Structure 1
């Protein structure tokens, strides 16, 4: 018995990786615009902890197997991105606050799990659509 998803149910990897990258870039870009103001000077300093943590999340979850699944891929990628990003941010001396951690977790949950939820809904809609022809 195979434990992998059927090929028809597996989302392509590159759009999923791009979607997760966009969520991290949006999160950090919005934060910089709201607090630092200067996107060019703060971008690299703010983005790298969460970008690296997202890559680690993909590796831990082996998300390439079915990157659009909410569980386990999405939850693991999200959790590692949040916890790893916050840890790397703190270790690099950028500071942490509980409010920032909560906003980080909420924003990344809505975006990283949200796009996966949309894909799941679309998949279910296609399964229930009567065959044409």
Structure 2
């Protein structure tokens, strides 16, 4: 299924939504582990992943196809997880296999998932706008 053409503002909306979803991942994680939701705590946990998200946008072609799960979602997700974990390790924030797995799964759901959902909705709307060929007379 091809990615729909980006509408005006999509190139700004998509990275903003990605950043908000990364922040949601961080907040949910901190709440689940009773780490608290102080601004400093959220920022400390979020910055490696947000840096990875930004690097994914800058290094890839996500800006050319912001709604594509394959061309934008996958590279941004891989960069977010990869760089996020690397920066956490460098900053001695802790990286273990379970956390890596949970982070990878949640961030895939968030960063690839919203694009997949957008494509499915767009395909459904496109089908609804097509004339129903079953009811038209055959020449």
Partner of 2:55: 56
Question: How big is the alpha-carbon RMSD for the aligned residues of Structure 1 and Structure 2?
Answer: 1.9
Where in structure 2 are the equivalents of 1:1-133 lying within 5 Å? 9-11=5-7, 12-40=10-38, 41-131=40-130
Paired positions, count: 127
Other structure's SS at 2:92 match: coil
Other structure's SS at 2:99 match: helix
Unaligned runs of at least 5 residues, structure 1 = none
Other structure's SS at 2:93 match: coil
Whether contact under 8 Å (1:53, 1:81) holds in the other structure is: yes
Who wins on radius of gyration, i.e. which is larger? 2
Unaligned runs of at least 5 residues, structure 2 = 132-139
Higher fraction of helix: 1
Other structure's SS at 1:63 match: coil
